[in-house]
Structure 1
Amino acid sequence: MAKVYLGLGTNLGDKEQNLHSAILYIEKQIGSVVSLSAFYNSEPWGFESVNSFLNAVLCVETDLLPLDLLHQTKQIEVCMGRTAKSSDGIYSDRIMDIDLLLYDALIMETPQLVLPHPLMNQRVFVMEPLAQIAPDLKHPVLHSTMAELLKKIS
């Protein structure tokens, strides 16, 4: 079983319900949720919007391989009503966004997936909930703990 950290974000509709629904989908399609952060409000990152985000990070144990896991998260986003994925660094409002942050200590770079998530350590809305549930977890590339990485950007 792999221990995987997923970042969840929503800025449309009933945001709290969206997060709860995503968590249920994850438990059904991906694996057992081991830990879940509090929900955090944040401003949009990388684009302008009047809609703030509600974010969370969870840890899930799964038998899925990384690309299969990515496929499942994209299916969940679509099931929840997401119509388009951000591309070329252009972000937009979304009912649900699920990012693969860490997959054990795996370092991977393919056209479809980069692990660990290449922008995670720049985003307070990721690092704050991640440091809440896994403060001593070490980033496999940066070799700092999640708490240390959060401190650098706070």
Structure 2
Amino acid sequence: MSSADIHTAYLSLGSNLGDRHATMCRAIDLLGREVGTVDRQSAMLETEPWGFQSANKFLNMCVRVLTPLSPQQLLAATQGIERELGRMSKSVDGHYHDRPIDIDILMYDDLHINTPELTLPHPLMKERDFVMIPLREIYG
């Protein structure tokens, strides 16, 4: 595979249920096995829930992945990892809830995509310090 076949994707990871640290580490391991090379990762940041009320704080971080997958394949792979780590449902229409893991694709190369399944760059990332602080740590 040539370097032209490798894409750069930035992902946001969050967890506020169970052993958050272990879940985040397991997600990074699975991303490395199923998606591509995780070549940068931010520190984990503990944050309050965004968009809903919960007593459970989040751990959040960002990773950069070098991947041969298309954006749609990457979305399917990250959703599969979420299911493997215990996430049963995605947030719908802005109704957020506690979750063992959340993996969002923030950016994929310089692509701009707007489909019902995937919007890139992520439309809400700039509103979320829990995304932007760790993203700035690894971006570039």
- The TM-score range, normalised by the shorter chain, is over 0.9
**Counterpart secondary structure, 2:37:** strand
1:3 to 8, 18, 21: 8
The one of the two structures with greater contact order (alpha-carbon pairs below 8 A, sep at least 6) is 2
Q: Answer yes or no: is 1:111 the counterpart of 2:116.
A: yes
Deviation at 1:95, TM superposition (A): 0.2
Distance 1:76 1:133 in 2: 22
Scaled by the length of structure 1, the TM-score of the pair is: 0.87
**Counterpart secondary structure, 2:94:** coil
Deviation at 1:34, TM superposition (A): 1.1
Q: Which residue of 2 aligns with 1:55?
A: 60
Q: Answer yes or no: is 1:25 the counterpart of 2:37.
A: no
Q: Which residue of 1 aligns with 2:3?
A: none
Query: Gaps (5+ residues) in structure 2?
Result: 1-5
Q: Which residue of 2 aligns with 1:90?
A: 95
Q: Which amino acid aligns with 1:53?
A: F
2:75 to 49, 56, 70: 70
1:121 to 126, 129, 132: 126
**Counterpart secondary structure, 2:76:** helix
**Which digits, 9 at most, give the CA deviation of each residue in 1:16-44, with x for residues without a partner?**
10100000000010000110000000000
Distance 2:32 2:76 in 1: 15
Q: Structure 1 stretches (4+) deviating beyond 2 angstroms?
A: none
Across the aligned residues of Structure 1 and Structure 2, the Cα RMSD in angstroms comes to: 0.6
